[in-house]
Chains A and B, each alone.
Chain A
């Protein structure tokens, strides 16, 4: 019905009709799929939540005399950074914490500052403290380097997140009789609360459940700037069971994303401290869905009431990798503030910010509306629901110790 090229032409002329993933729901309700598909050109989806497998690589430039960090050691604001590359390239992971952080020694640990906070500071234009040690070579004689760094002085600073944007996610509860601290937040005993983490009807991969328009090379809103889908994310698992509407009932698809950190902002990349668990980065992502035909609209207009998540016990089942699912609940129920579980009215909490997802979808809509953001054809498709591509678990094998 429409091609991406035609939609881009409309964007160029300022004629494109762009609606958010929430607005398309109302539109389809009022006018039906057929009419909505004719009227709308792009649907903007978004999510904002903690995404641990995020990181930044950067090149600090060559000092005089030169130093080779590869094989040496390196910290930024006391957070260890991986230096096993060329002379002055390093990779900073979101969940890294300083060596002297007490971690969980006094439980639950606070995890006040880690890699994700460094990423936020860099994106926010703050100076950070670099400390390096190297072994020294004939061509790179220097053994020690201590300096302030600012993102504007780095050659490249690139956000590269190997797993973001989970298509769907567990609802975490605690069946034990003591409070636990997890990556899904504090869970009170005996079903004291139920925490979920998805933007639901705003979430990119829930609105394109078969990855028809989102693929490798898709241009996106990333951390306040422009980024791209680089690959399927780690643990991409598209072949899980799906509901009649095609929506996965569990985790399923993920995205690896990449973009220029220099364009991004500290508003959409936020250092996050999960008590008793660790540091993570909350990332804002927005993905445009081109309205190619009615099928795209039908999928994009799915509501929270038709998207289900699985309730999992995080006191025993999750840590022990037991596959038990306690219940399936819809995001509409989750968002109502309470869900019924085993006869109990359990209050719900969210890790993903719906308000922020909405804001991102609106920003992306305005970028496209103003002709500042164009859509891309994917260079290659993500492994799909029929691909046989599956996440594997680790089967440990013993080895002989010399």
Chain B
């Protein structure tokens, strides 16, 4: 089993086709939609967490490419500057992915990068500017 986050760009002609459905049906892949929207020039953009058997995973990606979907690894990363974080927790209820949660014992705020979907809300609201976007 492998799991990876990918950014998919759907050209306008593909926006209305059930492409992700095929990934499940024909390739047995699991997906979790982290972010999806249609840009003003009607290109579709989707951030997916895809998981499945390695061979099927590669076939699935090949299928996407053959349809004309552009694939990018998730290159935008949110990281925490540990020196700046004060463990207040104002970010906790705003993180849609549950990537920022207090530890029951230490009461410190734990940032789980694997859960992060790089939406950037914490970057915008952290009072100490401890959350940074790296490209």
Say yes or no: A351 contacts B88, CB within 8 Å. Answer: yes
Q: Find the A residue at minimum CB distance from B98.
A: A347
A282 x B129 contact (CB < 8 A): no
Query: If A272-B127, A358-B107 touch, does A353 touch B93 (CB 8 Å cutoff)?
Result: no
Secondary structure of the A contact surface, majority rule: strand
**Among listed A90-98, A186-194, A378-386, interface-contacting one:** A186-194
The answer to whether residues A50 and B127 also contact, given A186-B94, A193-B94, A349-B94 and a CB cut-off of 8 A, is: yes
Tell me whether B86 and A186 are in contact (CB under 8 A): no
> Across the interface, do B127 and A350 meet the contact criterion of CB distance under 8 Å?
no
Query: In the complex, are the beta carbons of B129 and A193 less than 8 A apart?
Result: no
Measured in the bound complex, the distance between the Cα atoms of B107 and A350 in whole Å is 11
- Assembly CA distance A194 to B26 (angstroms): 44
Contact-residue size bin, chain B (C-beta under 8 Å from the other chain): 20 to 34
Distance between Cα atoms of A280 and B125 in the complex (Å): 14
A275 engages B94 (CB within 8 Å): no
Q: Tell me whether A112 and B129 are in contact (CB under 8 A).
A: yes
Pick from B106, B121, B129: contact of A273, CB under 8 Å: B129
Nearest residue (CB) in B for A352 is B88
Q: A185-B125, A273-B127 are in contact. Are A337 and B92 (CB under 8 A)?
A: yes
**Across the interface, which residues of B come within 8 angstroms of A192, CB to CB?**
93
- Contact assessment for B90 and A349 in the assembled complex, using a CB-CB cutoff below 8 Å: yes
Within 8 A of A (CB), among B78-135: 86-94, 101-102, 106-109, 121, 124-125, 127-129
Whether A195 pairs with B90 at a CB distance below 8 angstroms is: yes
Are B90 and A351 in contact (CB-based, < 8 A)?
A: yes
B62: min CB distance to chain A, Å: 40
Residues on B with C-beta less than 8 A from A346 are: 93
Q: Are B124 and A347 in touch, CB under 8 angstroms? A: no
> Known contacts A337-B102, A348-B93, A358-B107: does B88 contact A353 (CB below 8 Å)?
yes
Known: A186-B94, A273-B127, A275-B124. A350 touches B88 (CB 8 A): yes
Contacts of B121 in A (CB 8 A): 186
Chain A 56-100 interface 0/1 with B at a Cβ cutoff of 8 Å (1 = within): 000000000000000000000000000000000000000000000
Measured CB to CB, the nearest residue on chain B to A276 is B125
**Chain A residues positioned under 8 Å from B88 (CB to CB):** 49, 350-353, 356
In the assembled complex, the Cα of A192 lies from the Cα of B109 at a distance in Å of 20
12 A-B contacts, Cβ less than 8 Å apart? Answer: A48-B86, A49-B88, A186-B125, A274-B127, A280-B127, A282-B86, A282-B127, A349-B89, A350-B88, A354-B87, A354-B89, A354-B107
Closest 8 CB pairs of A and B: A347-B93, A193-B93, A355-B87, A350-B89, A349-B93, A353-B88, A272-B127, A355-B107
Can you name 6 extra interface pairs (CB under 8 A) apart from A270-B86, A273-B127, A354-B107?
Answer: A274-B127, A349-B89, A349-B90, A352-B88, A355-B107, A356-B86
